[in-house]
Structure 1
Amino acid sequence: MTDAFEQQHQVLLTASPLQRVGGFALAALAKVGHPEQLTVEQFTTATTTMTRHLLATSDVAKAADAGGFWLSASYMLWPNSKIIPTARGKQSPAERRELIAQWRDMPDSAEWPGVPCAYCDRPACKWFGKVDIPLGASSEHRNTTAPGHEGTPLCFPCVACLWAFPYGAELSGGRAAAVHSWDDVFLAPVTRMAVQRTLAAAQAPASKTKLGPYARELAVLNAVRAYGQRVHSGVELIVLSNSNKEQFLRTQEMSQPIVEWLRSTATKTNRRTGYQALVAAQAAKAVPGEAFLAKRAFGDPAAILFRTTAHLLDRVSAKGGIPVEATGLAPLLYSYCIEVLNMDEKDVTRIRDLARRLAALLGQDSRPGPFGGFMRANTKGGDLYGWFRSQSVQWLLKTRPAGMPQTLLPVEDYRLLFDDDRAWSHRRLLVFAVMEALVEAGWEPKGSAEELEDIADVAANLPEDDKD
């Protein structure tokens, strides 16, 4: 067996996320842990399996018919390929099988272009283009080639990985959605599960399932929380279509810190108990809480803190006071601020200490007005600094709990709230911490429904909230 032959039957992972996902999909098809562990025989078995799945469509008239899964998927994955040529309706099943087999066979070495593979630098076996390489929407992703070239040069293992990519993706809604990470230990089981789902879907009756809001992001969140080991890299969600009707490519990344924090909500007891309250806080009228949590984890991590605080304020009027969930959410939110939003742990401690002083001050009056005044001072049109100036006088005049300092807002705390890059996040955390401290102190506002509703209305004017 020559070195050249072996190279055309051995996978090397490259810098292409699609090739990497496809490599792990090949490994899953061959029941091997890592793509670079594939032997020549196992690699051949995996590629033969994929070809067999396509050959099975030769007897299928329409994509919606039984056995038409890969025929249906080919419109999105491999438009104008040998599986769905324009003249397919006039071809016999035997003709279809012959064309598909030719398409997926490795070219004879005499036909190799004599250039390196664009992905791994090993000898390319052929020029390839849109039919075999998933491409995106913009001109940067289209099949444009230099003069004298007939496409992109790829070796057989690299193009086989691209053929295998759909097995490692969720094929629904006219798009392929795949999870990728540079952490191979994480990527292997996630892709293996995706391959199992795809193989099962290929055997199931054809159906059109409408995706729920942020369903793809939610699937990643669930995969992360179900994973049993530390993840050493961020997690990407790749959604694409190679269809002639829609050239689409979108990549979102969930950073490694938030990945690990989300995992901790399923593994650490003090965080697991507050997770459902956090999920409920993220919900919108038409979007379930966990789906919105997943969306924000990808696109706007700070909004998770902002929305949780606004949710608690929304519930003030309904509960007749501050919801007790504030104490259960505390371990989650403080750890989130430190581990994900990169707040200094000492700063979080200072904010919590300040919140206890404010709770001691506000808690001396059972009317909701003083508490509402503090909340309004945090709104877009509020004057939090002016509120602190006036309340500092009250702090000096009123009876303070033993052990609490004379100064309500020390210089260090002032800087956190008004002279820091994270000032808005610090203020939002302070709002939550004050509510937590008031709940712990047993404070319950005594006021009319209108006064309590007035406090709840403040939530709509808190700055930097996610309004989706």
Structure 2
Amino acid sequence: MTDAFEQQDRVLLTASPLQRVGAFALAALVRVPHPEQLTAEQFAAAVAVMTRHLLVTADVAKAADPGGFWLGASYLLWPNSKMNPTARGKQSPDERRELIMQWRAMPDPASWPGVPCVYCDRPACKWFGKVDIPLGASSEHRNTTAPGHEGTALCYPCVASLWAFPYGAALSGGRAAVIHSWDDSFLAPVTQVAVQRTLAAAQVPPVKSKPVSYARELAVLGAVRAYGQRVCSGVELFVLSNSNKEQFLQCQEMGQPVAEWLRSTVSRTDRRAGYRILAAAQGTRTVPGEAFLAKRAFGDPAAILHRVIAYLLDQVSARGAVPVEVTVLVPLVYSYCIEVLNMDEKDIARIRDLARRLAALLGQDSRPGPFGGFMRASAKGGDLYGWFRSRSVDWLLKSRPAGMPRVLLPVQDYRLLFDDDSAWSHRRLLVFAVMEALVEAGWEPKGATEEFEEIAEIAADLDKNES
């Protein structure tokens, strides 16, 4: 028993994301870089810090009163715990303090259940349920466990990590939002920042503010872009409520490729300049661009590219010209296609070559009509193949500039656009590449307002289809 007892002050990382976040939060509370570096004294100090925070609530009548932060959080995190029983209003501050101390103390080794911790396989110190384990089954529900098991067996360091995870979360709107990654080098600083914010929030009265669209996803985007090293694993966002009123869990993951690419928009100068344009392009009338960028990075990375195309077409309509911002977006768009959408560099080179031929064809006419015809054919429901078929004859017999290939759409390019798993994204990329080539060629369209308005309608249809 002595050896088992000595293991109850050493934190190990396990396969539970919330335990992992909590372990890093424990370390952050005593300013230790990694939880597995915590000494016995530092672990005890971190647990003592958390207990002191709860003891402050003993003198508080309501969660809205000064010092009531953790009392309010307890209804979300630890319903029916010893710090918020139904009879709390009848208890004296001393009685409340005693119950909190009992709750957070290590159980007497004589009472240990003699089974391993389900997280780390070390000796468990007690059976635990919903009060201590977010979204866990109540320890009263014996039919959810094997005979003789009164809940979930955990060791003291693992349950302490679960107590600590809220410090590494954002607590708002009756829910806890947690950023997690299996990349420890990323998780450590992100959790440290979250702990500092939670400690600061606990010191001031809550301030009501206007909700921000996709605020939680936006926080992950900010954390990824603020990170100074390569992101080596996906980044997960857990939003949960453990309250009696609402049992809720939502899990999202920003894949490693898109997370690392978003980080590169800060670290690489060739991508930094276009980031604000790319982010602004994602916005709608009601959702700011960067917020929608964050949301799409989780749920639909391909839509980020498609939305950029729609935005540029909208700018063509508004300005009566292909926007010069296309050239600033070039390193962002092509790197995104390669690193996030897994397009082959050789395929992209073929698309850009095809775009130069199309720019040579479209650029022969200063009217926006031919350009709009190509865009209309490229839109969802358009007949791009039919457009190529009619233009290829004209290209061969009349429009081909000197030195250009005789065939407008070679077989390999046809397969990329119409007979490939990524054909739709290839066609979207072709639209961007054509605008890039037209800007390089100095094409300046001249035409009636109505002709440009038609291009705006094409952009609106594209945006509707892709959003």
Same fold (TM over 0.5): yes
1:413 deviation in Å?
A: 0.3
Match of 1:327 in 2: 327
After superposition, residues 300-311 of structure 1 pair within 5 angstroms as 300-311=300-311
- The answer on whether the counterparts of 2:307 and 2:463 sit within 8 Å (CA) in structure 1 is no
Answer yes or no: is 1:111 the counterpart of 2:111: yes
Structure 1 residue aligned with 2:223: 223
Distance 1:122 1:226 in 2: 37
Map of 1:179 onto structure 2:
179
Is this contact kept in 2: 1:173–1:211, CA < 8 A?
no
Deviations 1:147-172 (CA, angstroms, capped at 9, x unpaired): 43211000000000000000000111
Match of 1:19 in 2: 19
CA distance in 2, matches of 1:132, 1:381: 54
Match of 1:424 in 2: 424
Give the partner amino acid of 1:312. L
Partner of 1:299: 299
Aligned equivalents of 2:13, 2:41: Cα separation in 1:
18
Alignment of 1:56-455 (within 5 A): 56-135=56-135, 144-455=144-455
Could you give the per-residue CA deviations for residues 74-126 of structure 1, whole angstroms, max 9, x where no partner exists? 11000111111000000000000000000000000000011110101101000
Distance, in Å, in 2 between the alignment partners of 1:382 and 1:34 is: 56
Please report the RMSD computed on the Cα atoms of aligned residues, expressed in angstroms: 1.7
Shift of the 465–270 alpha-carbon distance from structure 1 to 2, 3 Å rule, reads farther
Per-residue CA distance 1:357-398 (angstroms, 9 max, x = gap): 100000000111111110111122211101001110121133
| TM-score (norm: length of structure 1) | 0.97
Supply the distance in 2 between the matched residues of 1:136 and 1:211 (Cα, whole angstroms): 29
8 A contact 1:136–1:241 mirrored in 2: no
Q: What are the superposed Cα offsets for residues 325-359 of structure 1, whole Å, 9 maximum, x if unpaired?
A: 11111110000000000000000110011001100
Given that 2:326 and 2:436 are in contact with CA atoms closer than 8 Å, whether structure 1 keeps it comes out as yes
SS in 1 for 2:466: coil
In structure 1, C-alpha distance between the alignment counterparts of 2:371 and 2:384, rounded to whole Å: 13
Cα distance, 1:305 vs. partner? 0.4
**Secondary structure of 1:8's partner?**
helix
Contact 1:118/1:154, CA 8 A, preserved across alignment: yes
The SS at the match of 1:239 is strand
User: Residue in 1 aligned with 2:52?
Assistant: 52
Question: CA 1:29/1:260 → structure 2, altered by over 3 Å: closer, same or farther?
Answer: same
Gaps of 5+ in 1: none
In the alignment, is the contact (CA less than 8 A) between 1:234 and 1:253 conserved in 2? yes
**Would you say the 8 A contact 2:366–2:445 is kept in 1?**
yes
Query: 2:200 & 2:165 partners in 1: Cα distance?
Result: 16
- Structure 1 residue 461, shift from structure 2 partner: 2.8
Match of 2:28, as an amino acid? Answer: A
Tell me which amino acid in the other structure corresponds to 1:36.
Answer: E
- Would you say the 8 A contact 1:282–1:307 is kept in 2? yes
SS of residue matched to 2:280: helix
For structure 2, the residue ranges without an aligned partner over 5 or more in a row are: none
1:241-279 Cα distance to aligned partner (Å, 9 max, x none): 101111111111111111110011011111100011101
Aligned to 1:38: 38
**d(CA) in 1 for partners of 2:433, 2:6:** 62
Deviations along 1:412-442, whole A, 9 cap, x unmatched?
0000000000000000000111111111111
The number of residue pairs the alignment matches comes to 464
What is the identity, as a one-letter code, of the residue corresponding to 2:460? A
In structure 1, what residue type is equivalent to 2:191? T
Kept in 2: contact 1:65–1:206 (CA 8 A): no
What amino acid sits opposite 1:42 in the alignment? Q
